[in-house]
Amino acid sequence: MSTVFIAFQTNEETRPVIEAIELDNPSATVHQEPAMVKIDAPDELVIRRETIEDQIGREYDLQELQVNLITMSGHLTEDEDTFTLSWK
Amino acid sequence: MDTPVNKKKLSLKEKYSYLTRDLAWEPSYQKKEDLFPYATYEGIKVHDWEKWEDPFRLTMDAYWKYQAEKERKFYAIIDAFAQNNGHLKITDARYLSALKIFLQAISPGEYAAHKGFARAGREFPGVGPQVACQMQAIDEIRHAQTQIHAMSNYNKFYSGFHAFADQRDRIWYTSVARSFFDDAMSAGPFEFMIAIGFSFEYVLTNLLFVPFMSGAAYNGDMSTVTFGFSAQSDEARHMTLGLECIKFMLEQDPANVEIVQKWIDKWFWRGFRVLGLVSTMMDYMLPKRVMSWREAWDIYGEENGGALFNDLARYGIRPPKGWKDAGEAVDHMSHQFMLALYQWNFGTAFHSWIPSDEDMDWLSKKYPDTFDKYYRPRWEHIKKMDEAGTPFNNFGLAKLCQTCQLPTVFSEPGDPSSLCHRETEYKGETYQFCSDHCCDIFKEEPEKFIQAWLPMPALFQAPLNGDLEAWMEWACLENGSDNGDFKGSHDQVSFQKWREMTTSN
């Protein structure tokens, strides 16, 4: 097993995104660090557009994630609906 | 009236294809090898550039949109910082030393990376990496500009910020970062991508930016948090590009594996040496600390790097040659390097100091196997000398490593009480090294490294001829203001005075 992770700035835009990630990834661990939230997951982490849209009540483009992204680890696969990090 | 046509929105994949792949053309009146003369000499074999995948699928229109949003956020906060006396909100003026090192050594590196990616984007024959390198080139110049702009607010009030551009080329510790980028920029495009895209961005950048920005947040430095996060939001894309590039090389031809491995060995160690500067910042310079250098290494080096090299094992790639020595050195490097910075602090454009008792207790706790045994006694001795009115300055100069340009101040692997020093002869000249790994890197490319500009020999050449004062003037280092012990410095006195003025009349 290897850990994948993603980290975002702590702000109002990322709060619902992090809630959505927690909903979609029950095995993920969320670490609140100074000004930053880091989410670790074993082998794979999936971010789903639909879950975020449910949280924020508007349409969301997954590329918006990039504005508040700090770092990540793992291979990335991205399309309109999902943003997946994994160690294959 | 025109009948409205319902056009289906392009999928991310289609849009990416139209706005990158479709922009390429086959040359008709020039040969491809004349257009891209540097694409093959490094020995990397590429059979199909179409196989290059950019997982972010970012196109230029989306790029401008999101970058503009980042800039708006950045300047809103920089304005607020200047309007609200942000320079007085930091925990303590000692914190500024970390920022000065960043501005003198790292921000010019961002500019160098800009030039390097602009060149790599021109030299790669595939349109996928051309577009990705073009974006990264623009990112890197944005990083240099926003960092310089954010820190210019501190330059209005404190010493040591005024001459970073000249100091980058003239001072001994900044030349460590300079030589790293000069080495990368004078390599071929594929090696450049391993050096910056993979080794620096993917393996090491977390160790630079994440603790640095958390440190800034902990120490009340709003402007650095802002430029750091603004830059870091691009880094995730850069890391992905670095990882993509290495996978692409490894998948294109089995003969590439050996060449790539050699570059990983070289650039991991080069990057690790540059990070020596960051280790001192984390363990010694932050008044309020986030985590130790050892703890940061465990998360972002050991665990994250370990996962990466596990993954690359399927291509026949093993962890870099210096990996084990690096893991061991992590318990020593910040202490050894900080002792060096302190004893030569007449030649640094930032302040250093003897750690307080409380600082030393923290270091004992974080480094239970090494600090009390090897480093506390040295600091205690230096403290006694200082109290006796004979502060410890070392006016002798250390040998400089011909490869990484650090003074040879690190210990032998497996024996923290003896100095690690290697030398080799090439064409009748003797060259010095800080480690086996730096010595091996030299032996692979001696003709390149004998041309390196080294700061110590520059001091002894004409017109300086060893004159320390003349050197300071040349290095734009204001003696008695920019350098020396923090105790009694302008920064300490001014910060204290201005802080008092903010809470009383």
DSSP for B365-418, written as a single string: HH-TTTIIIIIHHHHHHHHHHHHTT------S-PPBPTTT--BS-PEETTEEEE
Fold for the domain defined by A3-86? Phenol Hydroxylase P2 Protein (3.90.56)
Amino acid in the structure at residue B396: G
Is residue B174 exposed (0-12), middle (13-18) or buried (19+ Cβ within 10 Å)? buried
Do the Cβ atoms of B243 and B236 come closer than 8 Å? no
Q: How far apart are CA B73 and CA B67, in angstroms?
A: 10
Taking contacts as CB-CB distances below 8 angstroms, the residues of chain B near A3 are 303-304, 307
Taking contacts as CB-CB distances below 8 angstroms, the residues of chain B near A35 are 213-214, 217, 225, 229
CA B60 to each of CA B16, B26, B143, B232, B245: distance values in angstroms, whole numbers, following the listed order: 9, 22, 18, 19, 20
- Calculate the CA A72 to chain-centre distance: 9
Q: How far apart are CA B214 and CA B233, in angstroms?
A: 14
Residue of A nearest to B235 (CA): A71
Q: Tell me the pLDDT of chain B (505 aa) as tens digits.
A: 566 666 678 888 888 888 888 888 899 999 999 999 999 999 999 999 989 888 888 888 999 999 999 999 999 999 999 999 999 999 999 999 999 999 999 999 999 999 999 999 999 999 999 999 999 999 999 999 999 999 999 999 999 999 999 999 999 999 999 999 999 999 999 999 999 988 888 888 888 888 788 889 999 998 898 888 888 889 888 988 888 999 999 999 999 999 999 999 999 999 999 998 899 999 999 999 989 999 999 999 989 999 999 999 999 999 999 999 999 999 999 999 999 999 999 999 999 999 999 999 999 999 999 999 999 999 999 999 999 999 998 888 889 999 999 999 999 999 999 999 999 999 999 999 999 999 999 999 999 999 999 988 888 899 999 999 999 999 999 999 999 999 999 999 999 999 998 888 7
Do the Cβ atoms of B411 and B436 come closer than 8 Å? no
Residues forming a β-bridge with A30: A39
CA B284 to each of CA B105, B205, B291, B293: distance values in angstroms, whole numbers, following the listed order: 18, 20, 11, 10
User: What does the pLDDT read at residue B505?
Assistant: 79
The pair phi, psi for residue B389, each rounded to 5°, is: 80, 10
Residue of A nearest to B218 (CA): A34
Give domain status of residue B155, yes or no.
Answer: yes
Give domain status of residue B24, yes or no.
Answer: no
What sign does the dihedral B233-B94-B204-A43 (CA atoms) show? negative
Closest to A35 (Cβ–Cβ): which among B205, B214, B239?
B214
Taking contacts as CB-CB distances below 8 angstroms, the residues of chain B near A75 are 55, 243, 311
Q: Token match 């990112």: residue?
A: B139
Q: At what angle do helices B127-155 and B60-83 cross, to 10 degrees?
A: 10
Peptide bond into B108 cis (omega under 30): no
Do the Cβ atoms of B409 and B396 come closer than 8 Å? no
Q: How far apart are CA B470 and CA B249, in angstroms?
A: 49
Q: Do A67 and B233 touch (CB under 8 A)?
A: yes
User: What does the pLDDT read at residue B35?
Assistant: 96
| DSSP run (H or E) holding B498 | helix B490-503
Q: Do B232 and A69 touch (CB under 8 A)?
A: yes
Residue of A nearest to B231 (CA): A70
Taking contacts as CB-CB distances below 8 angstroms, the residues of chain A near B236 are 66, 69-72
The reply to whether A68 touches chain B by the CB within 8 Å rule is yes
Taking contacts as CB-CB distances below 8 angstroms, the residues of chain B near A12 are none
Closest to B210 (Cβ–Cβ): which among A68, A69, A70?
A70
Give domain status of residue B65, yes or no.
Answer: yes
Q: How far apart are CA B458 and CA B434, in angstroms?
A: 19
Give domain status of residue B195, yes or no.
Answer: yes
Q: Do A3 and B307 touch (CB under 8 A)?
A: yes
Residues 17-36 of A with CB under 8 A from B: 33-36
Closest to B235 (Cβ–Cβ): which among A33, A34, A71?
A71
Q: How far apart are CA B87 and CA B174, in angstroms?
A: 24
CA B480 to each of CA B132, B487, B491: distance values in angstroms, whole numbers, following the listed order: 46, 12, 11
CATH number at residue B460: 1.10.620.20
Give domain status of residue B478, yes or no.
Answer: yes
What sign does the dihedral B99-B101-B105-B106 (CA atoms) show? negative
Q: Which two tokens stand for residue B414?
A: 């497996």
User: What does the pLDDT read at residue B214?
Assistant: 85
Residues forming a β-bridge with A82: A48
What ipTM does the predicted assembly reach?
0.90
Q: Which two tokens stand for residue B288?
A: 């309020």
Domain count, chain B: 1
Secondary structure string (H, E, C) spanning B34-90 = HHCCCCCCCCCCCCCHHHCCCCCCCCHHHHHHHHHHHHHHHHHHHHHHHHCCHHHCC
Give pLDDT tens digits for A53-87.
999 999 999 999 999 999 999 999 988 999 999 99
What sign does the dihedral B210-B216-B217-B218 (CA atoms) show? positive
Q: How far apart are CA B412 and CA B168, in angstroms?
A: 29
Do the Cβ atoms of B175 and B405 come closer than 8 Å? yes
Closest to B55 (Cβ–Cβ): which among A64, A70, A77?
A77
User: What does the pLDDT read at residue B396?
Assistant: 83
Do the Cβ atoms of B42 and B259 come closer than 8 Å? yes
End-to-end CA distance of chain A: 10
Q: Which two tokens stand for residue B359?
A: 């600082």
User: What does the pLDDT read at residue B4?
Assistant: 67
Q: Do A72 and B210 touch (CB under 8 A)?
A: no
Q: Do A2 and B306 touch (CB under 8 A)?
A: yes
| DSSP run (H or E) holding B288 | none
| DSSP run (H or E) holding A29 | strand A29-33
Phi-psi region of B314 (alpha: psi -120 to 50; beta: other; left: phi over 0): alpha
pTM: 0.94
Neighbours of B371 (CB within 10 A): 22
Taking contacts as CB-CB distances below 8 angstroms, the residues of chain A near B91 are none
Taking contacts as CB-CB distances below 8 angstroms, the residues of chain A near B310 are 2, 87
Residues forming a β-bridge with A9: A36
Which residue out of B19, B210, B241 would a mutagenesis test of the A interface target, given it has the greatest number of A Cβ atoms within 10 Å? B210
What single-letter DSSP state applies at residue B352? B
Share in percent of chain A as helix, strand, coil (round to 5): 30, 45, 30
Residues forming a β-bridge with B430: B425
Closest to B290 (Cβ–Cβ): which among A4, A34, A75?
A34
Do the Cβ atoms of B250 and B315 come closer than 8 Å? yes
Q: Which two tokens stand for residue B30?
A: 């020039």
Residue of B nearest to A43 (CA): B307
Q: Token match 């090439």: residue?
A: B426
Domain extent for B101: 50-353+392-503
Give domain status of residue B255, yes or no.
Answer: yes
Q: Do B56 and A74 touch (CB under 8 A)?
A: no
Smallest CA–CA distance, residue A33 to chain B, in Å, is: 8
Closest to A3 (Cβ–Cβ): which among B57, B290, B303?
B303
Q: Do B236 and A74 touch (CB under 8 A)?
A: no
Q: How far apart are CA B15 and CA B217, in angstroms?
A: 38
Give domain status of residue B373, yes or no.
Answer: no
Q: Taking residues A12-26, report their average pLDDT.
A: 96
Q: Where are the alpha helices (DSSP H) in B84-204?
A: 96-101, 107-123, 127-155, 164-170, 174-185, 189-192
User: What does the pLDDT read at residue B419?
Assistant: 95
